[in-house]
Each structure stands twice: as structure tokens, then as C-alpha cells.
């Protein structure tokens, strides 16, 4: 993700539809059918981009996760 994308990203609230809400590591792992540590490893290796909100909060764009699934990277 480039810096411009992160600057224009709006942090959703509880009223934001789930489809457009950023995903937690666990939610991302559940969608991809892998362990959450695998998601962390993919993030660290640059396989799956993440949005780092602060030192303790990482989120994933659901559109990118769906593209990742469509690409066939996971079974």
C-alpha cells in the first residue's frame, strides 16, 4: 500500500457494512482458511499487504483479501 492510500483511508465505525469494514487478522485468517500466524507471516514477507494503524493494530482490506482468494493463492 502506498502512503496516499493510507492517508485517504477512512476508519470505519460499527455502522459501516461488514463488506467495507477492515478485517482483523483473525477474520482474514478465517476467510482464507489458514491460521492467523500464517497471515502474520504473509504480511511480514510481503505476500499479503496490511494496513498498520498503530504498533498494536493491524487490519486487512477485504477487497484485497477477496482478490487474494480469487488469485488461487489459497485453496
Domains of the chain: 20-75 (1.10.1660.10)
pLDDT, tens digit (0-9, with 9 covering 90-100), for 11-69: 556 666 555 789 999 999 999 999 999 999 999 999 999 999 998 999 999 989 988 88
pLDDT, tens digit (0-9, with 9 covering 90-100), for 25-40: 999 999 999 999 999 9
Q: Is the pTM of this model over 0.75?
A: no
CB 51 within 8 A of CB 61: yes
Distant-in-sequence, close-in-space partners of 65: CB < 8 Å, separation ≥ 6: 23, 28, 31, 32, 48
How many whole angstroms from its chain centre is CA 35?
14
Query: How does residue 1 score in pLDDT terms, banded at 50, 70 and 90?
Result: very low
Q: Which residue has the higher pLDDT, 3 or 59?
A: 59
Distant-in-sequence, close-in-space partners of 27: CB < 8 Å, separation ≥ 6: 60
CB 74 within 8 A of CB 30: no
Amino acid at each position: 500500500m502506498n502512503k496516499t492510500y493510507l492517508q485517504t483511508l477512512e476508519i470505519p465505525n460499527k455502522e459501516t457494512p461488514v463488506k467495507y469494514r477492515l478485517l482483523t487478522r483473525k477474520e482474514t485468517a478465517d476467510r482464507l482458511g489458514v491460521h492467523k500466524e500464517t497471515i502474520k507471516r504473509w504480511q511480514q514477507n510481503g505476500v499479503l499487504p496490511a494496513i498498520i494503524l498503530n504498533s498494536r493494530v493491524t487490519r486487512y482490506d477485504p477487497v484485497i483479501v477477496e482478490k487474494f482468494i480469487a488469485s488461487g493463492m489459497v485453496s
